[in-house]
Amino acid sequence: MGKTLFAKIFSVTVLIIFVSTALTSALMFTQLGNYLMESQNGEIAEMAEHIAEMTGHIMYDEDETTRWLFNQYLSNQSRNESCSIMILDTRGQVVLSAGSHGYETENGTAKIDERYIERALSGESVREVVTQKKRGGYITDSIIALEPVSVEQGGDDAVWGAVAVCKAMPQVREGRNALMRMFIASQGAAVLLAFLLSYIVAKRISRPISKLNAAAKAVAAGDFTKKVSAEPYGELGELIASFNYMTDALKEIDDSRSSFVSNVSHELRTPMTIISGFVEGILDGTIAEEDRVKYLNIVLSETQRLSRLVSDLLETSRLESGKAKLVMKPFDINELLRKGIISYEQAITDKKIDVEAEFMYDQIYVNGAEDSIYRVIMNLLDNAVKFTPEGGVIRIKSALRGQKAEISVENTGEGISEKDIARIWERFYKTDKSRGMDKNGVGLGLYLVKTIINQHGNRIWAESREGEYTRFTFTLDKVSVK
């Protein structure tokens, strides 16, 4: 059996067809022969019974006409049924016969096994199928039916003799063989058709699997553009569709990885170039001594930016790998919002920003990892303060909506365009406006925010109208605390 899937499917199918055909042929041959033999056996036995009954009434009849009519009847039956009919006396001698279809008499003795004759003369009905081998190796089946002839003697029934009806049955074998030839011919045509269909089916199954194998090798080599044409139905079609979905996902991951490496390289290179240039200027005296404090502050700022980038990258890695274990517990989300506002009090005052806090209840308890949610709030407040123009407004709200607490941070300002708002959750993504206004950001804040909220089994979304406002809203599970 071949090693390929096509060879295995085709070989197994051929083997099943061959075995089933052989078994069906053998069963057909046996059952057909048995049916033909049993039907003929019943007819011969019924004839023997009828003739035995007639013989018991006629043998003592002295009327020549009756005897002549009886002989004619036997001759007609013998001719019509192609059989030999013999009337035997108590010694087994033939006293009357009709037909000689393979059972001619010798010296008044029938060519029948003596055991059968003895059984019939003892009052037993005999039904036998005899196989005879003749010259040239020809085999013929014969049906022999012997029926005792009973006569009344002294008020009792006695066996006077027996009637033997013998029918050679070459036509049983011939008929069976003819039918078998027809059956084998039809089976042969069916087998050829089955072979053709199994070949087509095996090819149809193995071809897409071969394509799938080739595509898998291409994907393993790094080619994520390889696709397999999907079958329109069945488990194989689902497998191919899943494979194509997997390649799309891998391509997206690969593109994301490439973009991630590119963005990280860019974000690291810029502050390192600034730091390196200013430090070299200070060391070689290019920067005057009175300006060194100014430029050292710039170096410090870029160093802090690098520190935040590394910190955010580490946090991103922890969140994506699942190593960050969230310690869930009830806490007051309003208290966390108040702490966040206090933390940005100086920046809010410097930009003359008006803060409006609207809490549905004084306390709203939620279930979550308090430190992670505090990071979410700080990121959202940081963005709000950063992008709110001087004299603008920041609105912070908390409310209950069924079993969820809903928290929003909104700020007035330029807003975010519709084409940008769908991408703000991507790593390192910045709109053109934010690149101008947010020189210290690295574009990981909102990605971390969304990842943290998703890990809590909740959702966050953004709404914005250009030139008016930007609002971020997220939900958390409400808990009841006494």
pLDDT at 90: 83
- 161 and 12, same domain (yes or no): yes
pLDDT more than 70, % of the chain: 77
Q: pTM here?
A: 0.47
- 269 and 372, same domain (yes or no): no
Give the Cα separation of 50 and 52 in Å (integer): 5
Partner residues linked to 330 by β-bridges: 367
Q: 244 and 228 in contact (C-beta within 8 Å)?
A: yes
pLDDT band at 250 (very low <50, low <70, confident <90, very high): confident
- How big is the CA angle at 139 (ends 133 and 142), to the nearest 5 degrees? 90
pLDDT more than 90, % of the chain: 17
pLDDT band at 336 (very low <50, low <70, confident <90, very high): very high
Q: 348 and 394 in contact (C-beta within 8 Å)?
A: yes
pLDDT band at 463 (very low <50, low <70, confident <90, very high): very high
pLDDT band at 255 (very low <50, low <70, confident <90, very high): confident
Give the Cα separation of 74 and 152 in Å (integer): 23
Q: What are the angstrom distances between the C-alpha of 423 and each of 449, 453, 468, 476?
A: 14, 17, 20, 23
Q: What is the pLDDT of residues 125-142, one digit of tens each?
A: 888 877 765 554 444 567
- Please report whether residue 308 resides in a domain: yes
What are residue 359's phi and psi, to 5 degrees? -110, 125
- 262 and 354, same domain (yes or no): no
Q: Of 44-58, 128-142, 246-260, which gets the smallest average pLDDT? A: 128-142
Give the Cα separation of 328 and 370 in Å (integer): 8
Select from 440, 439, 421 the least CA-distant residue to 431: 421
Q: What is the pLDDT of residues 272-316, one digit of tens each?
A: 887 888 888 888 888 888 888 888 888 887 787 777 777 767 776
299-330 in b/e burial notation, b at 16+ Cβ within 10 A?
Answer: beebeebbeebeebbebbeebeeeebeeeeee
Which helix H or strand E contains 287, and what residues bound it? none
Domain count, the chain: 3
- 298 and 401, same domain (yes or no): no
What are residue 284's phi and psi, to 5 degrees? -90, 5
**CATH number of the domain within which 270 lies:** 1.10.287.130
Range of the domain at 22: 5-178
pLDDT at 1: 42
Select from 132, 98, 95, 100 the least CA-distant residue to 113: 132
Select from 311, 337, 368 the least CA-distant residue to 472: 337
- 53 and 91, same domain (yes or no): yes
- Please report whether residue 168 resides in a domain: yes
- 348 and 297, same domain (yes or no): no
Give the Cα separation of 391 and 413 in Å (integer): 10
pLDDT at 397: 95
- 335 and 400, same domain (yes or no): yes
Domain boundary among 161, 178, 195: 178
Instruction: Decide: helix, strand or coil at residue 331.
Output: strand
As a whole number, mean pLDDT of residues 214-236 equals: 74
Q: 69 and 58 in contact (C-beta within 8 Å)?
A: no
Domain boundary among 261, 296, 320: 320
Does the pLDDT of residue 40 top 70, yes or no? yes
- 270 and 155, same domain (yes or no): no
Q: Torsion angle of alpha carbons 302, 308, 312, 315, nearest 10°? A: 140
Domain boundary among 178, 197, 213: 178
